[in-house]
Amino acid sequence: MKNIRWMTFFSNVILYAPIAYIIRIEKGLTGSEVFLLQAVMAFSILTFEVPFGVLSDRIGYKKSIILSQVAMVFARLVFLFGQGFTFLLMDVVLLSISGALLSGVLEAYVYESNKSAYADQMTKIYNFASLGFILSNVLFFFVVKSGHFSLISITCLFNVVALIMSLSLPEIKQSDDKIQSVNSSLKMFETLKLVSKKRTFWECSIASGMTAVGMSVFNMLFVVVLSDKGFNVEFMGLVILAYSIFELSIKYAPVIKDKLGIKNYISSIMALITIAFILIGLAHSVPLLLVTGGFVMILSILLSIEVTDRSNQFIDQVGEEDKRASLLSVVNMAGSGVEAIMFVAISSGRVIDGRIFIVVGVGYAFLAIYNKFMQPLRSNQVRGNQVKSNQEVSERVS
């Protein structure tokens, strides 16, 4: 677990993240094209999700993680030297390949390593991701004067280190056969058909999709809302730095979880996210928006951890542990699908304002009500009390 934490740390050192939008504009994109590329990324991940999940179950989790890091390094190089829509489209496709290869695999790798400590290990991994992003924001203030080329090239070097760390990971799961038969693929589709009839599968998928949409809306549009309220976006780097430090507080989540119980814990997270998103959509005070944004970041991470944990337990319950990465990828497809639709709308210029936060907040409200009074998204009775709570480690607005 130490190596995977450090791999996550180095892969999250993204020096140019605070001004990623500005860099893309300077590389020849319009504002609409920036959001269009985000839609392409979501559609690409949606396309690659299941095939790469199946590939991961065939070749092993380690090889999938390594390939993900390789794709990430090539994406950085394309972004470093590329100009115009075509090259930046290539950058987005490579990022999508990297994300799809890692989607579900990181969680499956950690879960198979130690099921009872999954939540605790994921918390540590997300903390390392936050530390990496903190370092990138600290370095940003020293490197930005050297120009955008330096910001991107140093980011690329850190990704190379992350790739090197991935090479040293122990293999957790490896198929005996390098190439699976056609019957194996057909069996996989039969399994998907079976689990798709389970209500828990759709509960996890919808919750995963809602969490992905919430983070995407926040990452892409929160700075727009702040700017509309008079906030100087030049200080966004400091804001991101503060949020990254604040995220380290998720290490206290297991204590709160034990006191509230899993059902009330998850319902409380959903209710608080609901309030936070609606506040962002309605508030006019910049200080209030900044404080609320910090809570959105940490609450989204906590909810993502619980959703993934429940998805893993569902896979155990249906007895398909050997297809864990594939099935987790299917669950994650819901998020990619909703993201794709959302970014197409944004690129058309129809929903780029604070109202979308209210809409997302209402979505979280329905999820909270369902979890509280109907079919709670909670750990099963067998090991629910053994699990200690723990960002699809993701590209943070980069």
Split the chain (398 residues) into runs of 10 and give each run's mean pLDDT. Answer: 85 83 84 80 79 77 90 95 92 90 78 73 78 79 83 94 89 49 50 70 76 77 78 70 72 80 82 92 89 87 80 73 65 68 68 73 85 58 34 38
pLDDT of residue 389: 31
Task: Quote the pTM value.
Answer: 0.64
CATH topology classification for 2-169+193-386: Growth Hormone; Chain: A; (1.20.1250)
Q: What is the DSSP string of 249-273?
A: GGGGHHHHHHHH-HHHHHHHHHHHH
The total of other beta-carbon atoms located within 10 Å of residue 249's CB is 12
Would you say 326 and 188 are in contact if contact means Cβ atoms under 8 Å apart? yes
Rounded Cα distance, 140 and 156, in Å: 14
pLDDT of residue 398: 45
| Ramachandran angles phi, psi of 348, nearest 5° | -80, -5
What's CA 223's distance to the chain center, in Å?
19
Rounded Cα distance, 117 and 171, in Å: 18
Q: What is the dihedral of CA 210, 313, 391, 324, to 10 degrees?
A: -100
Rounded Cα distance, 367 and 274, in Å: 9
Which residues 6+ apart lie within 8 Å of 108 measured at CB? 56, 61, 173, 312, 324, 325, 328
Rounded Cα distance, 169 and 164, in Å: 9
Rounded Cα distance, 140 and 398, in Å: 13
pLDDT of residue 183: 45
Domain residue extents for the chain: 2-169+193-386
Distances (CA, A) of 58 to 62, 65, 115, 180: 11, 13, 21, 7
